[in-house]
Structure 1
Protein backbone atom coordinates (compact mmCIF):
# COMPACT_ATOMS: atom_id res chain seq x y z
CA UNK A 1 0.00 0.00 0.00
CA UNK A 2 1.34 3.48 -0.84
CA UNK A 3 2.32 6.01 1.83
CA UNK A 4 -0.38 8.39 0.54
CA UNK A 5 -3.12 5.88 1.28
CA UNK A 6 -1.71 5.17 4.79
CA UNK A 7 -1.84 8.86 5.71
CA UNK A 8 -5.52 9.05 4.74
CA UNK A 9 -6.38 6.01 6.81
CA UNK A 10 -4.67 7.48 9.92
CA UNK A 11 -6.55 10.77 9.54
CA UNK A 12 -9.87 8.97 9.34
CA UNK A 13 -9.20 7.23 12.64
CA UNK A 14 -8.55 10.52 14.53
CA UNK A 15 -12.13 11.82 14.35
CA UNK A 16 -13.43 13.46 17.71
CA UNK A 17 -16.56 12.78 19.89
CA UNK A 18 -19.93 13.53 18.51
CA UNK A 19 -22.22 16.09 20.09
CA UNK A 20 -24.45 13.34 21.47
CA UNK A 21 -21.49 11.60 23.11
CA UNK A 22 -20.39 14.87 24.75
CA UNK A 23 -23.90 15.55 26.07
CA UNK A 24 -24.15 12.02 27.50
CA UNK A 25 -20.76 12.40 29.20
CA UNK A 26 -21.74 15.74 30.72
CA UNK A 27 -25.01 14.30 31.99
CA UNK A 28 -23.20 11.36 33.60
CA UNK A 29 -20.69 13.75 35.14
CA UNK A 30 -23.45 15.87 36.64
CA UNK A 31 -25.12 12.77 38.12
CA UNK A 32 -21.85 11.60 39.67
CA UNK A 33 -21.03 15.10 40.99
CA UNK A 34 -24.50 15.41 42.50
CA UNK A 35 -24.15 12.05 44.24
CA UNK A 36 -20.76 13.03 45.65
CA UNK A 37 -22.10 16.36 46.92
CA UNK A 38 -25.09 14.61 48.51
CA UNK A 39 -22.77 12.18 50.29
CA UNK A 40 -20.60 15.04 51.53
CA UNK A 41 -23.63 16.96 52.83
CA UNK A 42 -25.02 13.83 54.49
CA UNK A 43 -21.66 13.10 56.13
CA UNK A 44 -21.44 16.69 57.38
CA UNK A 45 -24.93 16.53 58.93
CA UNK A 46 -24.19 13.14 60.49
CA UNK A 47 -20.91 14.40 61.93
CA UNK A 48 -22.63 17.49 63.35
CA UNK A 49 -25.35 15.33 64.89
CA UNK A 50 -22.79 12.97 66.41
CA UNK A 51 -20.88 15.89 67.90
CA UNK A 52 -24.08 17.32 69.38
CA UNK A 53 -25.07 13.94 70.84
CA UNK A 54 -21.59 13.39 72.28
CA UNK A 55 -21.52 16.89 73.80
CA UNK A 56 -24.97 16.49 75.35
CA UNK A 57 -24.09 13.05 76.70
CA UNK A 58 -20.88 14.41 78.22
CA UNK A 59 -22.77 17.28 79.86
CA UNK A 60 -25.30 14.85 81.29
CA UNK A 61 -22.63 12.52 82.67
CA UNK A 62 -20.80 15.45 84.22
CA UNK A 63 -23.81 16.87 86.06
CA UNK A 64 -25.10 13.49 87.22
CA UNK A 65 -21.67 12.57 88.60
CA UNK A 66 -21.31 15.92 90.30
CA UNK A 67 -24.76 15.87 91.88
CA UNK A 68 -24.26 12.28 92.99
CA UNK A 69 -20.94 13.02 94.70
CA UNK A 70 -22.42 16.04 96.50
CA UNK A 71 -25.71 14.42 97.48
CA UNK A 72 -24.01 11.33 98.92
CA UNK A 73 -22.78 13.57 101.73
CA UNK A 74 -26.21 15.03 102.60
CA UNK A 75 -26.99 14.62 106.30
CA UNK A 76 -23.33 14.14 107.24
CA UNK A 77 -22.36 15.45 110.66
CA UNK A 78 -19.42 14.13 112.70
CA UNK A 79 -19.01 15.69 116.14
CA UNK A 80 -15.69 13.84 116.52
CA UNK A 81 -14.14 15.38 113.40
CA UNK A 82 -10.94 17.06 114.68
CA UNK A 83 -11.35 19.81 112.06
CA UNK A 84 -14.93 20.67 113.03
CA UNK A 85 -15.18 24.33 114.04
CA UNK A 86 -16.41 24.50 117.65
CA UNK A 87 -17.65 28.09 117.81
CA UNK A 88 -21.23 26.89 118.40
CA UNK A 89 -22.94 24.11 120.34
CA UNK A 90 -22.12 21.19 118.04
CA UNK A 91 -24.47 18.82 119.89
CA UNK A 92 -27.44 20.99 119.00
CA UNK A 93 -26.08 21.51 115.50
CA UNK A 94 -25.68 17.77 115.02
CA UNK A 95 -29.27 17.20 116.07
CA UNK A 96 -30.50 19.89 113.67
CA UNK A 97 -28.56 18.58 110.65
CA UNK A 98 -29.62 14.98 111.28
CA UNK A 99 -33.26 15.99 111.44
CA UNK A 100 -33.07 18.42 108.50
CA UNK A 101 -31.00 16.80 105.73
CA UNK A 102 -33.37 18.45 103.25
CA UNK A 103 -34.25 22.03 104.09
CA UNK A 104 -37.81 23.33 103.77
CA UNK A 105 -38.95 26.97 103.86
CA UNK A 106 -39.27 28.62 107.29
CA UNK A 107 -36.68 26.39 108.97
CA UNK A 108 -34.10 29.16 109.43
CA UNK A 109 -34.17 32.43 111.32
CA UNK A 110 -32.46 34.11 108.34
CA UNK A 111 -33.73 33.76 104.76
CA UNK A 112 -36.95 32.12 105.80
CA UNK A 113 -37.96 31.52 102.16
CA UNK A 114 -34.91 29.32 101.54
CA UNK A 115 -35.91 25.68 101.11
CA UNK A 116 -36.71 22.82 98.76
CA UNK A 117 -39.77 23.59 96.66
CA UNK A 118 -41.98 21.88 94.13
CA UNK A 119 -42.22 23.89 90.91
CA UNK A 120 -45.75 24.90 89.99
CA UNK A 121 -47.36 23.17 86.97
CA UNK A 122 -44.27 21.19 86.04
CA UNK A 123 -41.82 24.07 86.29
CA UNK A 124 -38.36 23.56 87.77
CA UNK A 125 -37.93 22.34 91.34
CA UNK A 126 -35.54 23.78 93.92
CA UNK A 127 -33.36 21.53 96.08
CA UNK A 128 -31.76 22.67 99.35
CA UNK A 129 -29.65 20.27 101.44
CA UNK A 130 -27.60 20.19 104.67
CA UNK A 131 -24.23 18.65 105.46
CA UNK A 132 -20.94 19.15 107.24
CA UNK A 133 -18.12 20.15 104.90
CA UNK A 134 -15.06 22.35 104.52
CA UNK A 135 -16.63 24.31 101.62
CA UNK A 136 -19.97 25.04 100.01
CA UNK A 137 -21.06 23.91 96.53
CA UNK A 138 -19.23 26.89 95.00
CA UNK A 139 -15.94 25.88 96.61
CA UNK A 140 -15.96 28.69 99.21
CA UNK A 141 -14.83 28.21 102.82
CA UNK A 142 -17.03 31.15 103.96
CA UNK A 143 -14.49 32.62 106.35
CA UNK A 144 -13.32 29.36 108.00
CA UNK A 145 -9.60 28.65 107.97
CA UNK A 146 -7.16 25.72 107.84
CA UNK A 147 -9.71 23.46 106.14
CA UNK A 148 -12.07 23.61 109.11
CA UNK A 149 -15.39 21.86 108.58
CA UNK A 150 -18.67 23.58 109.36
CA UNK A 151 -22.40 23.36 108.74
CA UNK A 152 -23.06 23.96 105.02
CA UNK A 153 -26.39 24.53 103.27
CA UNK A 154 -26.41 24.21 99.47
CA UNK A 155 -29.19 25.34 97.15
CA UNK A 156 -29.66 24.02 93.57
CA UNK A 157 -32.05 25.66 91.11
CA UNK A 158 -32.52 26.59 87.43
CA UNK A 159 -32.55 30.16 86.15
CA UNK A 160 -32.33 31.23 82.49
CA UNK A 161 -31.86 27.60 81.44
CA UNK A 162 -28.80 27.26 83.66
CA UNK A 163 -28.49 24.87 86.59
CA UNK A 164 -27.01 26.94 89.41
CA UNK A 165 -25.96 26.50 93.00
CA UNK A 166 -25.17 28.74 95.92
CA UNK A 167 -23.94 27.91 99.37
CA UNK A 168 -24.57 29.26 102.86
CA UNK A 169 -23.02 28.96 106.27
CA UNK A 170 -25.75 27.14 108.19
CA UNK A 171 -24.73 28.93 111.36
CA UNK A 172 -25.44 32.26 109.69
CA UNK A 173 -28.84 30.98 108.55
CA UNK A 174 -29.64 29.86 112.11
CA UNK A 175 -28.78 33.32 113.44
CA UNK A 176 -25.72 32.11 115.38
CA UNK A 177 -23.03 34.17 113.62
CA UNK A 178 -22.54 36.90 111.05
CA UNK A 179 -21.90 36.14 107.39
CA UNK A 180 -18.20 36.04 106.49
CA UNK A 181 -15.98 35.24 103.53
CA UNK A 182 -17.78 34.83 100.20
CA UNK A 183 -21.18 35.28 101.78
CA UNK A 184 -22.52 37.53 99.07
CA UNK A 185 -24.54 34.39 98.31
CA UNK A 186 -24.21 34.89 94.57
CA UNK A 187 -24.93 31.75 92.59
CA UNK A 188 -22.62 30.08 90.10
CA UNK A 189 -23.61 28.12 86.99
CA UNK A 190 -22.72 24.44 87.11
CA UNK A 191 -24.35 23.47 83.78
CA UNK A 192 -25.77 25.40 80.82
CA UNK A 193 -28.76 24.45 78.64
CA UNK A 194 -30.81 22.77 81.40
CA UNK A 195 -34.47 23.20 80.48
CA UNK A 196 -36.08 21.09 83.20
CA UNK A 197 -34.98 20.05 86.70
CA UNK A 198 -37.08 17.79 88.93
CA UNK A 199 -36.50 16.18 92.33
CA UNK A 200 -38.41 13.65 94.42
CA UNK A 201 -37.57 12.43 97.91
CA UNK A 202 -37.43 8.83 99.09
CA UNK A 203 -38.90 8.35 102.57
CA UNK A 204 -38.91 5.39 104.92
CA UNK A 205 -39.81 4.27 108.41
CA UNK A 206 -38.28 1.39 110.33
CA UNK A 207 -41.58 -0.31 111.00
CA UNK A 208 -42.31 -0.93 107.32
CA UNK A 209 -38.75 -1.78 106.22
CA UNK A 210 -37.70 -3.94 109.21
CA UNK A 211 -34.66 -1.77 109.94
CA UNK A 212 -33.30 -1.75 106.38
CA UNK A 213 -34.09 1.98 105.94
CA UNK A 214 -34.83 1.54 102.23
CA UNK A 215 -37.21 4.12 100.72
CA UNK A 216 -40.79 2.92 100.61
CA UNK A 217 -41.95 5.67 98.25
CA UNK A 218 -40.84 8.89 96.60
CA UNK A 219 -42.72 12.13 97.22
CA UNK A 220 -42.64 15.74 96.04
CA UNK A 221 -41.27 18.59 98.14
CA UNK A 222 -44.80 19.73 99.00
CA UNK A 223 -45.42 16.41 100.77
CA UNK A 224 -42.23 16.28 102.84
CA UNK A 225 -43.51 18.02 105.96
CA UNK A 226 -46.54 15.76 106.18
CA UNK A 227 -44.28 12.70 105.84
CA UNK A 228 -41.96 13.97 108.58
CA UNK A 229 -44.91 14.66 110.85
CA UNK A 230 -45.92 11.02 110.39
CA UNK A 231 -42.57 9.62 111.45
CA UNK A 232 -40.95 9.25 108.03
CA UNK A 233 -37.29 10.02 107.26
CA UNK A 234 -35.75 11.09 103.96
CA UNK A 235 -33.14 8.53 102.90
CA UNK A 236 -32.86 8.99 99.12
CA UNK A 237 -33.23 11.47 96.28
CA UNK A 238 -34.28 11.06 92.68
CA UNK A 239 -33.07 13.75 90.30
CA UNK A 240 -34.09 14.17 86.66
CA UNK A 241 -33.10 16.89 84.22
CA UNK A 242 -33.44 17.59 80.51
CA UNK A 243 -30.41 19.03 78.70
CA UNK A 244 -30.55 20.73 75.30
CA UNK A 245 -27.74 20.22 72.80
CA UNK A 246 -25.51 23.25 72.33
CA UNK A 247 -26.10 23.37 68.54
CA UNK A 248 -28.70 24.22 65.89
CA UNK A 249 -29.49 20.55 65.27
CA UNK A 250 -33.21 19.89 64.86
CA UNK A 251 -35.20 16.67 64.77
CA UNK A 252 -38.21 15.86 62.59
CA UNK A 253 -40.53 15.11 65.50
CA UNK A 254 -40.63 17.28 68.63
CA UNK A 255 -39.44 15.19 71.61
CA UNK A 256 -41.31 14.77 74.89
CA UNK A 257 -40.27 13.42 78.28
CA UNK A 258 -41.78 12.12 81.50
CA UNK A 259 -39.77 13.34 84.48
CA UNK A 260 -40.39 11.49 87.74
CA UNK A 261 -43.81 12.45 89.15
CA UNK A 262 -44.49 15.20 86.60
CA UNK A 263 -46.82 15.27 83.63
CA UNK A 264 -45.29 14.91 80.17
CA UNK A 265 -42.80 17.68 79.39
CA UNK A 266 -42.57 18.89 75.78
CA UNK A 267 -39.86 21.39 74.78
CA UNK A 268 -40.82 24.53 72.89
CA UNK A 269 -38.90 23.60 69.71
CA UNK A 270 -37.60 20.65 67.69
CA UNK A 271 -34.09 20.90 69.05
CA UNK A 272 -32.01 17.98 70.27
CA UNK A 273 -32.78 17.19 73.94
CA UNK A 274 -31.75 14.38 76.27
CA UNK A 275 -33.11 13.20 79.61
CA UNK A 276 -30.85 12.17 82.50
CA UNK A 277 -32.00 10.57 85.75
CA UNK A 278 -30.36 9.19 88.85
CA UNK A 279 -31.37 7.80 92.26
CA UNK A 280 -29.03 8.68 95.13
CA UNK A 281 -29.05 6.99 98.51
CA UNK A 282 -28.34 9.33 101.41
CA UNK A 283 -26.09 6.87 103.19
CA UNK A 284 -25.56 9.15 106.19
CA UNK A 285 -29.30 9.29 106.76
CA UNK A 286 -29.73 5.54 106.30
CA UNK A 287 -27.02 4.90 108.89
CA UNK A 288 -28.58 7.47 111.21
CA UNK A 289 -31.98 5.80 110.95
CA UNK A 290 -30.51 2.36 111.56
CA UNK A 291 -28.51 3.55 114.56
CA UNK A 292 -31.71 4.86 116.14
CA UNK A 293 -33.71 1.71 115.48
Structure 2
Protein backbone atom coordinates (compact mmCIF):
# COMPACT_ATOMS: atom_id res chain seq x y z
CA UNK A 1 0.00 0.00 0.00
CA UNK A 2 1.41 3.46 -1.00
CA UNK A 3 2.09 5.91 1.79
CA UNK A 4 -0.04 8.93 0.83
CA UNK A 5 1.95 11.33 3.04
CA UNK A 6 5.24 10.42 1.38
CA UNK A 7 3.70 10.69 -2.07
CA UNK A 8 2.28 14.10 -1.25
CA UNK A 9 5.72 15.32 -0.03
CA UNK A 10 7.37 14.20 -3.25
CA UNK A 11 4.80 16.07 -5.28
CA UNK A 12 5.03 19.24 -3.19
CA UNK A 13 8.93 19.48 -3.33
CA UNK A 14 10.95 21.56 -0.81
CA UNK A 15 9.29 23.80 1.67
CA UNK A 16 9.87 27.57 1.71
CA UNK A 17 11.99 27.24 4.83
CA UNK A 18 14.21 24.64 3.21
CA UNK A 19 14.66 26.83 0.13
CA UNK A 20 15.61 29.84 2.24
CA UNK A 21 18.14 27.82 4.22
CA UNK A 22 19.65 26.51 0.97
CA UNK A 23 19.89 30.02 -0.49
CA UNK A 24 21.52 31.41 2.63
CA UNK A 25 24.05 28.60 2.73
CA UNK A 26 24.79 29.12 -0.97
CA UNK A 27 25.32 32.84 -0.47
CA UNK A 28 27.63 32.26 2.50
CA UNK A 29 29.73 29.76 0.57
CA UNK A 30 29.83 31.97 -2.55
CA UNK A 31 30.84 34.99 -0.47
CA UNK A 32 33.63 33.04 1.16
CA UNK A 33 34.92 31.88 -2.22
CA UNK A 34 34.80 35.42 -3.64
CA UNK A 35 36.62 36.76 -0.58
CA UNK A 36 39.37 34.17 -1.01
CA UNK A 37 39.71 35.04 -4.71
CA UNK A 38 39.85 38.79 -4.02
CA UNK A 39 42.39 38.31 -1.23
CA UNK A 40 44.48 36.08 -3.48
CA UNK A 41 44.39 38.68 -6.27
CA UNK A 42 45.47 41.48 -3.92
CA UNK A 43 48.29 39.37 -2.51
CA UNK A 44 49.42 38.38 -5.99
CA UNK A 45 49.55 42.01 -7.14
CA UNK A 46 51.52 43.01 -4.06
CA UNK A 47 53.97 40.15 -4.57
CA UNK A 48 54.46 41.16 -8.19
CA UNK A 49 55.06 44.78 -7.17
CA UNK A 50 57.58 43.77 -4.49
CA UNK A 51 59.44 41.48 -6.90
CA UNK A 52 59.59 44.17 -9.59
CA UNK A 53 60.89 46.86 -7.23
CA UNK A 54 63.47 44.57 -5.65
CA UNK A 55 64.73 43.42 -9.04
CA UNK A 56 65.08 47.06 -10.15
CA UNK A 57 66.84 47.89 -6.88
CA UNK A 58 69.35 45.08 -7.27
CA UNK A 59 70.07 46.09 -10.86
CA UNK A 60 70.67 49.77 -10.18
CA UNK A 61 72.68 49.04 -7.03
CA UNK A 62 75.05 46.82 -8.99
CA UNK A 63 75.40 49.33 -11.81
CA UNK A 64 76.00 52.36 -9.61
CA UNK A 65 78.46 50.43 -7.46
CA UNK A 66 80.44 49.28 -10.49
CA UNK A 67 80.62 52.74 -12.03
CA UNK A 68 81.17 54.78 -8.87
CA UNK A 69 84.01 52.55 -7.67
CA UNK A 70 86.07 54.12 -10.47
CA UNK A 71 85.52 57.70 -9.33
CA UNK A 72 88.82 59.57 -8.97
CA UNK A 73 90.87 56.90 -10.74
CA UNK A 74 93.78 58.22 -12.79
CA UNK A 75 96.70 55.88 -13.43
CA UNK A 76 99.46 57.85 -15.14
CA UNK A 77 101.31 54.58 -15.80
CA UNK A 78 98.50 53.19 -17.92
CA UNK A 79 99.78 52.31 -21.38
CA UNK A 80 96.71 53.47 -23.28
CA UNK A 81 96.07 57.01 -22.00
CA UNK A 82 95.46 59.51 -24.78
CA UNK A 83 98.35 61.95 -24.33
CA UNK A 84 97.08 64.83 -26.44
CA UNK A 85 96.93 66.89 -23.23
CA UNK A 86 99.25 67.25 -20.24
CA UNK A 87 98.73 63.92 -18.44
CA UNK A 88 100.26 65.01 -15.14
CA UNK A 89 98.12 68.14 -14.98
CA UNK A 90 95.01 66.14 -15.85
CA UNK A 91 95.85 63.53 -13.23
CA UNK A 92 96.17 66.22 -10.56
CA UNK A 93 92.84 67.73 -11.59
CA UNK A 94 90.89 64.45 -11.54
CA UNK A 95 92.37 63.37 -8.21
CA UNK A 96 91.48 66.67 -6.56
CA UNK A 97 88.10 66.96 -8.31
CA UNK A 98 86.63 63.42 -8.24
CA UNK A 99 83.26 65.02 -7.52
CA UNK A 100 82.51 68.02 -9.70
CA UNK A 101 80.49 70.95 -8.39
CA UNK A 102 78.89 73.88 -10.15
CA UNK A 103 81.57 76.20 -11.53
CA UNK A 104 84.26 73.54 -12.05
CA UNK A 105 84.06 73.42 -15.86
CA UNK A 106 85.00 76.34 -18.10
CA UNK A 107 82.68 75.44 -20.98
CA UNK A 108 79.71 74.28 -18.88
CA UNK A 109 79.76 76.18 -15.60
CA UNK A 110 76.29 74.96 -14.61
CA UNK A 111 77.28 71.29 -14.67
CA UNK A 112 78.08 69.85 -11.27
CA UNK A 113 76.78 67.96 -8.27
CA UNK A 114 73.98 69.87 -6.59
CA UNK A 115 71.23 69.58 -4.01
CA UNK A 116 67.69 69.25 -5.27
CA UNK A 117 65.57 72.27 -4.36
CA UNK A 118 62.69 71.76 -1.90
CA UNK A 119 63.32 68.05 -1.46
CA UNK A 120 63.82 67.29 -5.15
CA UNK A 121 66.37 64.71 -6.28
CA UNK A 122 70.08 65.53 -6.20
CA UNK A 123 72.51 65.63 -9.13
CA UNK A 124 75.76 63.68 -8.97
CA UNK A 125 78.68 64.53 -11.27
CA UNK A 126 81.87 62.49 -11.00
CA UNK A 127 85.19 62.18 -12.84
CA UNK A 128 87.59 59.34 -13.63
CA UNK A 129 89.98 57.94 -16.22
CA UNK A 130 88.25 55.51 -18.57
CA UNK A 131 87.85 54.43 -22.18
CA UNK A 132 84.16 55.41 -22.28
CA UNK A 133 81.52 57.26 -20.30
CA UNK A 134 78.36 55.88 -18.67
CA UNK A 135 76.54 55.86 -22.02
CA UNK A 136 79.22 53.78 -23.76
CA UNK A 137 80.44 56.81 -25.74
CA UNK A 138 84.21 56.81 -26.34
CA UNK A 139 84.23 60.39 -27.73
CA UNK A 140 86.43 59.24 -30.63
CA UNK A 141 89.33 58.15 -28.42
CA UNK A 142 88.93 54.62 -29.86
CA UNK A 143 90.14 52.50 -26.96
CA UNK A 144 92.37 55.10 -25.32
CA UNK A 145 91.62 56.32 -21.80
CA UNK A 146 90.65 59.93 -21.19
CA UNK A 147 89.07 62.22 -18.58
CA UNK A 148 85.47 60.98 -18.32
CA UNK A 149 82.72 62.93 -16.57
CA UNK A 150 79.41 61.22 -15.73
CA UNK A 151 76.29 63.09 -14.64
CA UNK A 152 73.58 61.12 -12.77
CA UNK A 153 70.20 62.81 -12.37
CA UNK A 154 66.45 62.17 -12.18
CA UNK A 155 64.11 63.56 -14.80
CA UNK A 156 60.39 62.75 -14.94
CA UNK A 157 60.82 59.93 -12.40
CA UNK A 158 63.57 58.37 -14.52
CA UNK A 159 67.19 58.00 -13.41
CA UNK A 160 69.47 59.00 -16.27
CA UNK A 161 73.17 59.40 -16.93
CA UNK A 162 74.84 61.83 -19.33
CA UNK A 163 78.47 61.32 -20.32
CA UNK A 164 81.02 63.99 -21.20
CA UNK A 165 84.62 64.42 -22.30
CA UNK A 166 86.22 66.18 -19.34
CA UNK A 167 88.86 67.72 -21.59
CA UNK A 168 86.16 69.48 -23.60
CA UNK A 169 84.46 70.65 -20.40
CA UNK A 170 87.75 72.15 -19.19
CA UNK A 171 88.30 73.92 -22.51
CA UNK A 172 91.36 71.84 -23.44
CA UNK A 173 89.88 70.31 -26.59
CA UNK A 174 87.19 71.01 -29.16
CA UNK A 175 84.16 68.74 -28.91
CA UNK A 176 84.37 65.91 -31.44
CA UNK A 177 81.31 63.90 -30.39
CA UNK A 178 78.13 65.28 -28.85
CA UNK A 179 77.39 64.13 -25.28
CA UNK A 180 74.76 61.42 -24.92
CA UNK A 181 72.21 60.59 -22.26
CA UNK A 182 70.87 57.13 -21.39
CA UNK A 183 68.03 55.94 -19.18
CA UNK A 184 69.23 53.81 -16.29
CA UNK A 185 65.95 53.11 -14.48
CA UNK A 186 62.27 54.08 -14.53
CA UNK A 187 59.93 54.73 -11.59
CA UNK A 188 62.51 56.51 -9.45
CA UNK A 189 60.77 58.72 -6.91
CA UNK A 190 63.86 60.21 -5.28
CA UNK A 191 67.67 60.19 -5.53
CA UNK A 192 69.79 61.64 -2.74
CA UNK A 193 73.56 61.81 -2.34
CA UNK A 194 75.97 62.70 0.45
CA UNK A 195 79.74 62.98 0.25
CA UNK A 196 82.15 61.55 2.81
CA UNK A 197 84.98 63.99 3.44
CA UNK A 198 88.31 63.11 5.04
CA UNK A 199 90.48 65.25 7.31
CA UNK A 200 93.08 67.53 5.69
CA UNK A 201 95.54 65.58 3.56
CA UNK A 202 98.52 66.14 5.86
CA UNK A 203 96.79 64.36 8.78
CA UNK A 204 94.21 62.10 7.11
CA UNK A 205 94.22 58.30 7.03
CA UNK A 206 91.80 58.28 4.12
CA UNK A 207 88.66 57.70 6.19
CA UNK A 208 85.55 59.88 5.95
CA UNK A 209 84.98 61.89 9.12
CA UNK A 210 81.88 63.79 8.01
CA UNK A 211 79.18 63.46 5.35
CA UNK A 212 78.06 66.63 3.61
CA UNK A 213 75.75 67.70 0.81
CA UNK A 214 76.95 68.91 -2.58
CA UNK A 215 76.87 72.60 -1.65
CA UNK A 216 79.55 71.99 1.02
CA UNK A 217 82.03 70.03 -1.11
CA UNK A 218 83.84 73.08 -2.48
CA UNK A 219 84.27 74.52 1.03
CA UNK A 220 86.02 71.35 2.19
CA UNK A 221 88.06 71.20 -1.00
CA UNK A 222 89.43 74.67 -0.19
CA UNK A 223 90.63 73.26 3.16
CA UNK A 224 92.43 70.41 1.36
CA UNK A 225 89.80 67.96 2.61
CA UNK A 226 88.84 65.51 -0.12
CA UNK A 227 85.80 63.36 -0.83
CA UNK A 228 86.72 59.73 -0.11
CA UNK A 229 83.29 58.08 -0.09
CA UNK A 230 79.78 58.44 -1.44
CA UNK A 231 76.48 57.68 0.25
CA UNK A 232 73.48 57.43 -2.06
CA UNK A 233 69.83 56.48 -1.62
CA UNK A 234 67.08 55.76 -4.14
CA UNK A 235 63.35 55.53 -3.53
CA UNK A 236 61.78 53.22 -6.12
CA UNK A 237 58.09 52.79 -6.92
CA UNK A 238 56.30 49.80 -8.42
CA UNK A 239 54.76 49.92 -11.88
CA UNK A 240 51.68 48.21 -10.46
CA UNK A 241 49.18 50.88 -9.33
CA UNK A 242 46.57 48.49 -7.95
CA UNK A 243 48.42 47.52 -4.79
CA UNK A 244 46.14 47.78 -1.77
CA UNK A 245 47.93 48.81 1.41
CA UNK A 246 46.17 49.73 4.61
CA UNK A 247 48.55 52.48 5.71
CA UNK A 248 50.45 55.04 3.66
CA UNK A 249 54.22 54.56 3.83
CA UNK A 250 56.59 57.32 4.97
CA UNK A 251 60.20 57.53 3.82
CA UNK A 252 63.15 59.78 4.69
CA UNK A 253 66.23 59.54 2.46
CA UNK A 254 69.53 60.55 4.07
CA UNK A 255 69.25 64.17 5.23
CA UNK A 256 65.87 64.84 3.61
CA UNK A 257 62.56 65.34 5.39
CA UNK A 258 60.15 62.41 5.51
CA UNK A 259 57.69 62.03 2.63
CA UNK A 260 54.39 60.15 2.76
CA UNK A 261 53.47 58.14 -0.33
CA UNK A 262 50.19 56.72 -1.65
CA UNK A 263 48.77 53.30 -0.82
CA UNK A 264 48.26 52.12 -4.40
CA UNK A 265 51.97 51.49 -5.11
CA UNK A 266 54.74 49.59 -3.39
CA UNK A 267 57.79 51.69 -2.44
CA UNK A 268 61.23 50.67 -1.22
CA UNK A 269 64.47 52.48 -0.38
CA UNK A 270 67.83 51.23 -1.64
CA UNK A 271 70.95 52.84 -0.26
CA UNK A 272 74.67 52.25 -0.05
CA UNK A 273 77.82 53.83 1.32
CA UNK A 274 80.69 53.36 -1.09
CA UNK A 275 84.35 53.95 -0.28
CA UNK A 276 86.20 55.51 -3.21
CA UNK A 277 89.31 53.34 -3.20
CA UNK A 278 91.20 55.56 -5.61
CA UNK A 279 90.59 58.65 -3.50
CA UNK A 280 91.51 56.90 -0.25
CA UNK A 281 94.81 55.83 -1.80
CA UNK A 282 95.41 59.33 -3.15
CA UNK A 283 94.84 60.91 0.27
CA UNK A 284 97.05 58.38 2.06
CA UNK A 285 99.94 58.82 -0.36
CA UNK A 286 99.68 62.63 -0.22
CA UNK A 287 100.58 62.85 3.47
Shorter-chain TM range is over 0.9
Residue equivalent to 1:98: 95
Match of 1:219 among 212, 217, 239: 212
Counterpart of 2:276 (choices 262, 278, 282) is 282
Cα-Cα RMSD? 2.0
In structure 2, distance between residues paired with 1:204 and 1:250: 45
Q: Any conservation in 1 of the 2:196–2:209 contact (CA below 8 Å)?
A: yes
Is residue 45 of structure 2 the alignment partner of residue 45 of structure 1?
no
Which TM-score applies when normalising by structure 2? Answer: 0.92
Unaligned 5+ residue runs, structure 1?
A: none
Mark the CA change 1:292 to 1:67 in structure 2 (over 3 Å): closer, same or farther.
same
Task: Look up the match of 1:157.
Answer: 153
Q: CA offsets, 1:88-116, max 9 Å, x none? A: 11111111101100001111111111111
Conserved? CA contact 1:136–1:152, under 8 Å = yes
Q: Give ranges in structure 2 of 5+ residues lacking alignment.
A: none
Paired with 1:101 and 1:281, the residues of 2 have a C-alpha distance of 13
Q: Is the 8 A contact 1:206 1:212 kept in 2?
A: no
Structure 2 counterpart of 1:76: 73
In structure 2, C-alpha distance between the alignment counterparts of 1:51 and 1:153, rounded to whole Å: 37
Question: For 1:216, what is the secondary structure of its paired residue?
Answer: strand
Match for residue 204 of structure 1?
198
Aligned residues: 283
Distance 2:159 2:254 in 1: 18
TM-score (norm 1): 0.90
Q: Matched residues in 1 for 2:258 and 2:238: separation?
A: 20
CA distance in 2, matches of 1:44, 1:265: 28
Shift of 1:171: 1.0
2:244 is equivalent to residue 247 of structure 1: no
| 1:259-270 to 2 correspondences below 5 Å | 259-267=253-261
Higher gyration radius (CA): 1
Distance 1:122 1:37 in 2: 43
